[in-house]
Amino acid sequence: MKKVVAAIFTIGVMITLAAGMYWLSVSMFIAIAVFLLLSLRWSDYPFLRRIGFLKTPLLFLIAVVLAIVVRLFFFGIYNVGSNSMRDTLVPGDYVWVNKLIYGPLLPTSVYDIPWVGVGYWLIKGRPADIYSITRIPSRLKGYRSSAANDVVVFNKPGTTEAFIKRCVAGPGDTLEIRRGDILVNGRVVVDAVKVKGGGPEVPAWKVYPGVDSLGWDIDNWGPYILPCKGMEIVWDEKSLQLYGKLEALCEIRRTDVVNGEPVTQTDNHTFKHDYYFMVGDNRHASHDSRFFGPVPDYDIIGKATFIIFSQGEGLDSGRRFLRCFNR
């Protein structure tokens, strides 16, 4: 049994190395070492025999660390709370979120670490700021980036509020919504038929970027080039209308202070992140990128893949158990 487990882990290390996911390779190597250590008969080794009393606490500690690591880097569970993805998802659905496929986000503060953050908050008491950020958001390498038609869980830009929507366009794409049809790079997206009108009612929210002179509305939006990392724009009246709000919220502000010195305002800007456009399937009941703008790569949590179970009503909720809805 020990040899079989070691062989499986070794194959896994080789696959992750080939994929360039070195962080996962190192993690699996450590897991192999710990497994082999715990599988030894400690009584046969003088050093291990002397510290044998530590084996049970060590097992408990490893179990806790493993639970935190799996929850933080591998998967999550998201509870659907709105009708924005109906008929794909309904309120009360609990969906499995794969964090590994895009690469897991690194915690920006201790409060992002499952269970540890709660303990830290209890120790620190009332002054604790659970929304504090101590480092720039970044992510480890995954198998691929977000792709069109993925159902994605992400944080609404500028907040810690988790949303679930469908990705319809990615960095470098030119997106336009014309009379309700979604066009990417000038072509109607066939998969976008999943994004339905959702009835005659149209939300009264003001569409992004909130510039009345553009004349955009919920069913006629764009054209808009989604920024990609390294894309450079020259600031003029038009680019400020389209990207000024995005740059101020998601990029380093031109008024920021770096190393104690104010950043000099320049005539151009080079984007530091990739951006994605998210739209709810139930379009006329969805608060999405048409209202809060493109989503930066560091706000994407993971890909929603299947429904674990559902406490919702209607839409065959009784059969929504381990049901796959995403490719």
pLDDT per residue over 53-84, tens digit each?
788 888 888 888 888 888 889 999 999 988 88
Give the largest Cα separation in the chain, rounded: 79
Report whether pLDDT(263) > 60.
no
Give the percent of the chain with pLDDT over 70. 83
pLDDT in tens, 289-327: 999 999 999 999 999 998 998 887 655 655 677 788 765
Higher pLDDT, 13 or 95: 95
> Can you tell me the distance from the alpha carbon of 284 to that of 201, in angstroms, rounded to the nearest whole number?
6
Q: What is the pLDDT of residue 262?
A: 46
pLDDT in tens, 232-256: 999 999 999 999 999 988 886 444 4
Q: What is the pLDDT of residue 223?
A: 95
> Can you tell me the distance from the alpha carbon of 68 to that of 94, in angstroms, rounded to the nearest whole number?
20
Q: What is the pLDDT of residue 152?
A: 95
Q: Structure tokens of 229?
A: 């990392």
Q: Tell me if 275 sits within 8 A of 191, measured CB to CB.
A: no
Residue 220 has what DSSP assignment? B
> Can you tell me the distance from the alpha carbon of 79 to that of 309, in angstroms, rounded to the nearest whole number?
10
Please state which architecture CATH assigns to domain 75-104+139-221+275-311: Ribbon (2.10)
Residue 59: which H helix or E strand, with range? helix 55-73
Report whether pLDDT(132) > 70.
no
pTM of the full structure: 0.84
Report whether pLDDT(208) > 70.
yes
Higher pLDDT, 65 or 130: 65
Give the percent of the chain with pLDDT over 90. 31
Q: What is the pLDDT of residue 292?
A: 94
| Residue 202 Ramachandran class (φ > 0 left, ψ -120 to 50 alpha, else beta) | beta
Domain parsing of the chain, residue ranges? 2-73, 75-104+139-221+275-311
